[in-house]
Structure 1
Amino acid sequence: MIKLIKPYISFQEIEKEFQEIFESGYFTRGPYVKTFAERIKEYTKAKHAYLATSATTALWACMRLLNIMSGHEVIVSDFSFPATANIVEDVGAKPVFADVSPDTFNMLPEELEKKITPKTKAVLFVDALGNPSGIHEIKEICQKHQIPLIEDAACAMGSSERDVKCGNIADLTCFSFHPRKLLTTGEGGAITTNSDRLSELLAVKLAHGSIFHEGKYDFVDFGYNFRLPELQAVMGIKQIEKLDAIVQSRNAIRNQFIQELEPIGFKAQRVSPGVEYNVQSLVFQVPKRIQRDWLVNKLKDAGIETTLGTYCLSGTTYYRKRYNNVQPKAWELQNTTITFPCYEGLDVDFICNAVRRSLQ
């Protein structure tokens, strides 16, 4: 079976550091956590970076930092993993779903403009599948209306727009290090910001509300244990060192797939001019004459693992029942997109030939 994902790290790369950590007994708040956070700052050019247990907890912390609560609204990209909307719902606010471009799969500026109300307390822009196309235009709208912009860059470590890395664009940016991401720590996440005020709050909130002062901890606020352990930080350090090479390799593979599949009716996710795309997921819309789920099953029979692109949040059972406001473009993308494997050593010709045979 050709697997959908393959990590860019081996045990041999981390064995020495793992042994050091076990011998030291320092599994948390150690030097590797500090180093990994510094490497993220250096890579993204963000002023501040903090590690977290996942992108979900990172996004949830952002809701708390901005004091978002019941009676508030957060405008959310509608083509994403459900965690994007769940964290808004969890703090008592209302996720307002903004439809997306059928080309880039990202929030449409005109959708954002028409959904801003006096209750809007933040905009949550998703770099769909790692693609930040259009985020600067969204940022300009947010600045015009003086609304904080949170970038759900769960998939976008390594991507950029207008020569600015994801992590250095929005007021707050959240990354994921889940196994499907280019940089994985098993589970894990990070938050970046250029705001000194938000940085001070983050440092406290992510560590039980504590500060270390005169040799002991003082709990100056309520907070949470969202800390990433040392072992996982080692994994992150090893991969961020080769991230640019990984991005370059995945773009080369993407170009191969485009050359093979677009002539037979598939349409690749589009990337705007000025965007460097990390190709976190290699996603195409299937030809109109076939059903996506049928193709996924045919390729499974051929020994190739694929899956859907991602989800129309407003069309999930929970949010459809709660708000009954399904966004049509995102709904179509959920039902017509397919994700192909994309990593070094992949036999692209074998996969594309299997697709052709399925269509015959």
Structure 2
Amino acid sequence: MNDFIKLIKPYIAFDEVSSELKDIFDSGQLTKGKHVEKLVGSLKEYTGAKHAFLTTSATTALTLCLKALGIKSGDKVAVSDFSFPATANVVEDLGATPVFVDVDKLTYNMLVKDLRKKLDSSVKAVIFVDALGNPSGLIEIKEVCQEFGIPLVEDAACGLGSSVDGAKVGAIADMTCFSFHPRKLLTTGEGGAILTNSDKYAEWLRVKLNHGASGIKGKGMNFVDFGYNYRMSEIQALLGWKQIMKLDSIVVSRNAIASEYEKLLGPLGFKRQACAEGVYHNIQSLVFTVPDDGSRDQVIDALSEQMIESTLGTYCLSATTYYKKRYGMVQSNALWLENNTITLPCYEGVVVKRVVSVIRDFSSS
């Protein structure tokens, strides 16, 4: 009987952290310790960003970025329309309005021409999404933002390990947010990070992420502002630090597996997510468009029957029940991608030929 093939497996094992984990418990310092400092330092070194801050998730990271920019009720924020709902939810939560920008059918990323059409004086920020880890188009969107004097926040929840013209994602946008959710290549269970080269944003984040404290007053902390506790624990940071040291090799391995899939599925009409010239994709998720409109769900069902996990690419935000009812402006390309993309298992040890065999049998039936 065939074993169940999961969509993804974490790139971390207990024996890689067991001795340091014991040290954490023995020390009694479960937060704000050396492993948090190691992960922060490693993220800066790996990406080339000047500042890094750990958070509880990419969602809290995105929220903080918008707060740092002063986004408030009545403002508008342009948002890539093909993403997980958290990208738009953080805008909505602040009382601002997400302006959904359609995406390219090949790269799945924000279209420059559609962004330009939707920019006006009420748009106070742009959130560009590295769709499934792919930063294609990021530089072009950054140039538009600079032209209009609008800050750029990169939702790189899936993007750690990707690069553009040799520059790692993390130091390109004004602020970049990562996720360390279990489906990501680097996972801390739950968790996230904000990276920036801006001293101004970094100082704001440093205070806000420390309950509003800056320095010492008397025998305690000096609370100069109100703030938050979105901290990552020592245990989580240890997991992340161990994985970032091998992240590049993970990305190379996933690209090799993706190429094997593409070679076998291409003749069946499946088209892999495209990358712009100069982009190196971490393959956080391996996504194809299916050859026939409307067949994607049937492919997922066929794989499931053979104990192979798969799922859709991601969501058209403007077509979700909430946002469609609230704004009623569904973006056509993003909706097409939601209905016609499939994510396949991609990690060391996955039997690619078994997955492809099921898809081939379905396609020929």
TM bucket normalised to smaller: over 0.9
Quick one: structure 1 residues 289 and 335, their matched pair in 2 at CA, closer, same or farther if it must change by over 3 Å?
closer
How far does the alpha carbon of each residue in 1:206-259 deviate from its partner, in whole angstroms, 9 at most, with x for none?
121112326632211111111100000000000000000000000000000000
Q: 1:203 aligns with which of 198, 201, 206?
A: 206
Conserved 8 A contact 1:299-1:358: no
1:235 alignment partner AA = L
Partners in 1 of 2:267 and 2:220 — Cα distance?
65
Kindly tell me the number of residue pairs found equivalent between the two proteins: 360
1:85 corresponds to which residue? 88
2:240 corresponds to which residue? 236
1:146 corresponds to which residue? 149
Runs of 4+ in 1 over 4 A off after TM superposition: none
How far does the alpha carbon of each residue in 1:102-145 deviate from its partner, in whole angstroms, 9 at most, with x for none?
00000000011010011011000000000000100000000000
Task: Give 1:275-294 correspondences, 5 Å limit.
Answer: 275-288=279-292, 291-294=295-298
Task: Give 1:330-341 correspondences, 5 Å limit.
Answer: 330-341=334-345
Conserved 8 A contact 2:133-2:159: yes
Is residue 76 of structure 1 aligned with residue 76 of structure 2?
Answer: no
Partners in 2 of 1:27 and 1:253 — Cα distance?
37
Identify unmatched segments of 5+ residues in structure 1. Answer: none
2:54 corresponds to which residue? 51
Conserved 8 A contact 2:314-2:338: yes
How far does the alpha carbon of each residue in 1:128-177 deviate from its partner, in whole angstroms, 9 at most, with x for none?
00000010000000000000000000000000112111101000000000
Conserved 8 A contact 1:130-1:154: yes
Conserved 8 A contact 1:155-1:181: yes
How far does the alpha carbon of each residue in 1:179-201 deviate from its partner, in whole angstroms, 9 at most, with x for none?
00000000000000000010000
Which secondary structure does the structure 2 equivalent of 1:130 belong to?
A: coil
Conserved 8 A contact 1:266-1:285: yes
Give the TM-score, by structure 2 length: 0.97
Question: Cα RMSD between the aligned structures?
Answer: 0.9
Which secondary structure does the structure 1 equivalent of 2:52 belong to?
A: strand
Partners in 2 of 1:179 and 1:217 — Cα distance?
35
1:14 corresponds to which residue? 17
Is residue 274 of structure 1 aligned with residue 304 of structure 2?
Answer: no
Partners in 2 of 1:167 and 1:145 — Cα distance?
22
Partners in 2 of 1:213 and 1:319 — Cα distance?
45
Q: 2:192 aligns with which of 189, 192, 196?
A: 189
Which secondary structure does the structure 2 equivalent of 1:129 belong to?
A: coil
Task: Give 1:243-254 correspondences, 5 Å limit.
Answer: 243-254=247-258
How far does the alpha carbon of each residue in 1:5-51 deviate from its partner, in whole angstroms, 9 at most, with x for none?
10100001111111111111111111110110010000000000000
Task: Give 1:344-359 correspondences, 5 Å limit.
Answer: 344-359=348-363
Is residue 30 of structure 1 aligned with residue 33 of structure 2?
Answer: yes
How far does the alpha carbon of each residue in 1:77-115 deviate from its partner, in whole angstroms, 9 at most, with x for none?
000000000000000100000000000000000011010
1:314 corresponds to which residue? 318
Q: What's the % identity of the aligned pairs?
A: 58
User: How far off is 1:351 after superposition?
Assistant: 0.7
User: How far off is 1:264 after superposition?
Assistant: 0.5
Partners in 2 of 1:336 and 1:289 — Cα distance?
6
Q: 1:167 aligns with which of 166, 170, 190?
A: 170
User: How far off is 1:289 after superposition?
Assistant: 5.6
2:34 alignment partner AA = P
Identify unmatched segments of 5+ residues in structure 2. Answer: none
How far does the alpha carbon of each residue in 1:48-92 deviate from its partner, in whole angstroms, 9 at most, with x for none?
000000000000001111110111000000000000000000001
Partners in 2 of 1:80 and 1:143 — Cα distance?
23
Conserved 8 A contact 1:76-1:96: yes
User: How far off is 1:292 after superposition?
Assistant: 0.9
Partners in 1 of 2:345 and 2:117 — Cα distance?
37
Q: 1:105 aligns with which of 83, 92, 108?
A: 108
Quick one: structure 1 residues 212 and 22, their matched pair in 2 at CA, closer, same or farther if it must change by over 3 Å?
farther
1:314 alignment partner AA = S
Which secondary structure does the structure 2 equivalent of 1:68 belong to?
A: coil
Mean alpha-carbon deviation: is it higher for 103-112 or for 210-219? 210-219
2:229 corresponds to which residue? 225
Q: 2:215 aligns with which of 212, 224, 240?
A: 212
Conserved 8 A contact 2:77-2:97: yes
Conserved 8 A contact 1:79-1:128: yes
2:206 alignment partner AA = A
1:325 corresponds to which residue? 329
Which secondary structure does the structure 1 equivalent of 2:63 belong to?
A: helix
